[in-house]
A and B are shown apart, each in its own frame.
Chain A
Amino acid sequence: MRRTGFTLVELLVSVTLFMLAVGIALAAVINSNNLIQLSDNRASLVDSVRDTSERLSNLTTGLGQGSIDLISGVSYANPNDDATLSFLPGQKSPLDTASTGESGFALEIRRYGTGLQDNVCYLIGRGNLVEQSSGDQVKLDENGRSVVVIVTALNVSSQTPNCIYSNLRYKGTLSSSGLSLVGLSFTLGDRNAQAAHLRYLMQIETASASRSETARRYGRLEAVYGLSVRLN
């Protein structure tokens, strides 16, 4: 009698080959998704680092003497109120008198305009964005996970111009949501009578950077930038 159908061995071989082909295809799809995610994250990291650098470069162009301070310590008497912001003693150094190697996690930049309304203070540095029902809070914090910007009015009527923290003009973050700032430090590399070499290091990682070894490897970006800040 003629035997019909497949033998057990033929079936096993064909099923194994089929499973192998499906496995390879599945791995390719998963891998492609991971690569797209990594690529997307990397683009956000690069954008965020370059955007921050560009804004800092614009803000520090054309500054006058005594217009920029390095901040290494800050406190809030009331965390929900900007007016209570103060700098810890000795932890706010004017860049034009700071010594080489001095560092901080934020900058206070005072810019002068043609009218009173155009005199403003920029606080840029490490901080946190806290979402609240009454409106988002942005605070400077040396362990913060975002690059924050706080813009306030600048009082130029006194001998030494000072920022009026209660007169808030703008609050926001420079780094994209979904990214986490791991490090941001400003260091004075060199200084002379006319200019200061302000260097800063930024480390940003994606929220998924802790998920796998590949995500850890490709999910973090560290870059060093420098700015020549005119002091007079």
Chain B
Amino acid sequence: MRKNGFSLIEVLFVAGFLAMIGVAIIALSAAALRLITSAEIHTVAHGLAQDAVSYVETVALPKTQTNFFSTYFPTCSASGGFYNCNAYVTCPAEEGSLGSACAISSSSDDVQVGRNRTRYTTAVSVISTDAGGSQVNVRVMATTSWSKRTADKVIVGKIFTLEKL
């Protein structure tokens, strides 16, 4: 007797093959979109970190080492006359407009930039080291992160000089 139609194995093979193609295409598209979004997130994070570094530099410049660190950083460790402080810098921004002035605080606050719903937190680490004479080098490192994964962050640093007192 002649067999009519496809066998179950044939149908399952074709259906599985088509499903695999579909899944592969969707996975490729999702990966490409993630890459595109990642470029945006890194650019925004770099801008926020750079904004935080420039804010710390601006408020530090008219100060000496002592009154800069003791005024802006409530909790610092000091050793041999030099400081090592950690804090958060929040520079508000809303979609299409810049918020008010930045602020240094001991607690983190996140901001959102643009249409992407990612929220960014910027932490700063500020240390002073001897620059010789009456001056100290101040090194500011701003780290902007957008998730708990250790790789999801951008770091921007700068060194400038202050008077000891």
Verify A42–B40 contact, CB threshold 8 A.
Answer: yes
In the complex formed, the residue of B with least CB distance to A10 is B5
Q: Is the CB of A24 within 8 A of B93?
A: no
Answer whether A53 and B114 are a contact pair too, CB < 8 Å, given A39-B36, A46-B40, A197-B54.
no
The verdict on A226 contacting B36 (CB below 8 Å), with A201-B93, A221-B114 known, is no
Stretch in contact with the other chain, from B56-64, B74-82, B129-137 = B56-64
* C-alpha gap A190/B95 in the complex (Å): 21
Q: Is A42 touching B62 in the complex (CB atoms < 8 A)?
A: no
Any chain A CB within 8 A of the CB of B141?
A: no
Contact A226 B91 (CB under 8 A): yes
Please, which residue of chain B has its CB at the minimum distance from the CB of A35?
B32
| A193 interface hit (Cβ, 8 Å) | yes
Number of residues of chain A lying within 8 A (CB) of chain B? 54
Tell me the interface secondary structure of chain B in the complex: helix
Whether A228 contacts B39 by the Cβ 8 Å rule is no
Q: For the complex, give the distance between the alpha carbons of A110 and B100 in Å.
A: 27
Interface membership of B159, Cβ < 8 A:
no
B43 in the interface (beta carbon within 8 A): yes
Q: Is A189 a contact of B21 with CB atoms below 8 Å?
A: no
Across-interface contacts of A28 in B (CB, < 8 A): 25, 28
Cα A222 to Cα B57 with chains together (Å) = 24
Instruction: Say yes or no: is B1 at the interface (Cβ < 8 Å to chain A).
Output: no
Q: Are A221 and B14 in contact (CB under 8 A)?
A: no
CB of A20 within 8 Å of the partner chain: yes
In contact, A46 and B39 (Cβ under 8 angstroms): yes
**Closest CB in chain B relative to A227 CB, distance in Å:** 5
Given contacts A39-B32, A218-B36, contact A100 B101 (CB under 8 A): yes
Interface residues of A in 7-51 (CB under 8 A from B): 7, 10, 13, 17, 20-21, 24-25, 27-28, 31-32, 35, 38-39, 42-43, 45-46, 49-50
Q: Let me know if B12 is at the binding interface, CB within 8 A.
A: no
* Known contacts A42-B40, A193-B62, A221-B40; is-contact A226 B96 (Cβ 8 Å): no
In-complex Cβ contact of A190 among B37, B47, B58 (8 A)? B58
Whether A230 sits at the interface, judged by CB under 8 Å, is yes
| 15 additional A-B residue pairs with CB within 8 Å, beyond A42-B36, A43-B39, A218-B33 | A27-B25, A31-B29, A35-B36, A53-B47, A53-B50, A189-B102, A190-B58, A194-B61, A200-B98, A222-B95, A223-B114, A224-B47, A226-B47, A226-B54, A228-B53
30 pairs of residues in contact across A and B, judged by CB atoms under 8 Å: A10-B5, A24-B18, A24-B21, A28-B25, A28-B28, A35-B29, A35-B36, A42-B36, A42-B40, A45-B40, A45-B43, A46-B43, A50-B46, A100-B101, A189-B102, A190-B59, A192-B58, A192-B59, A192-B62, A196-B58, A203-B114, A222-B96, A223-B47, A224-B51, A224-B93, A224-B98, A225-B47, A225-B51, A226-B52, A226-B91
- The 10 tightest CB contacts between A and B, nearest first, are A226-B51, A222-B114, A197-B58, A226-B54, A228-B54, A228-B57, A223-B47, A194-B61, A35-B32, A195-B61
